[in-house]
Amino acid sequence: MSQRRIEVTLAGQKIALATSVEHEPLLRAACTLVDEQIQLAINGGNRSIERASMMAALKIAGDLITLKNTAPDTKAQRSSPTVDSEEVALLQSKIQSLENQVDTLLQTLSLPGSPRPIVP
C-alpha cells in the first residue's frame, strides 16, 4: 500500500494528511463530515475552534454509538428469511408423506430369523 499526501480543510484550516489510494475517498468523506459538524458547532455559538471540534467529535461519537446499538437489530431483520405459508404447508405435506412411507416399510420389515413383519 503506497502512501500519498492529500490536503483537506477543517474549520477553515488546511491540513495535510497521509493516506493510501484505497482509503482516500473514505478519508475525504470523513473530513467533510467533521468539517460540517465543526461549522455547525461554530454557527451554534461555540467561538473557539477547539471547543467546536470537541462538540463535533461528541456529536459524531454519539451518532456512531447509536448506529452500533441499532445495527444488530437491522442485521437480524435483513438476514431473517420470510416465511411463505404455502411453502410451509407443502413441506409439511411432504414430511407427512415420507413419515407414512417409513411407517409402511417398518411394518413389512422383518428381523433376521423372524418371518413375520414388525407391527408397531
Q: Note the pLDDT tens digit of each residue in 35-72.
A: 999 999 999 988 899 999 999 999 999 999 999 888 76
Residues 66, 90, single domain; the answer is no
Residue range(s) defining the domain that contains residue 89? 84-120
Residues 73, 30, single domain; the answer is yes
Residues 106, 71, single domain; the answer is no
Q: Does 112 have pLDDT greater than 60?
A: no
Question: Tell me, what's the pLDDT at 107?
Answer: 60
Q: At what angle do helices 49-79 and 24-43 cross, to 10 degrees?
A: 120
Residue 35's Cβ-side half-sphere holds a number of Cα atoms within 13 Å equal to 14
- Between residues 19 and 90, the one the model is more confident about: 19
- Between residues 1 and 33, the one the model is more confident about: 33
Residues 68, 90, single domain; the answer is no
**For residue 41, with 0-12 CB atoms within 10 Å meaning exposed, 13-18 middle and 19 or more buried, which class applies?**
buried
Q: Does 77 have pLDDT greater than 70?
A: no
Residues 107, 54, single domain; the answer is no
Residues 75, 94, single domain; the answer is no
Domain count, the chain: 2
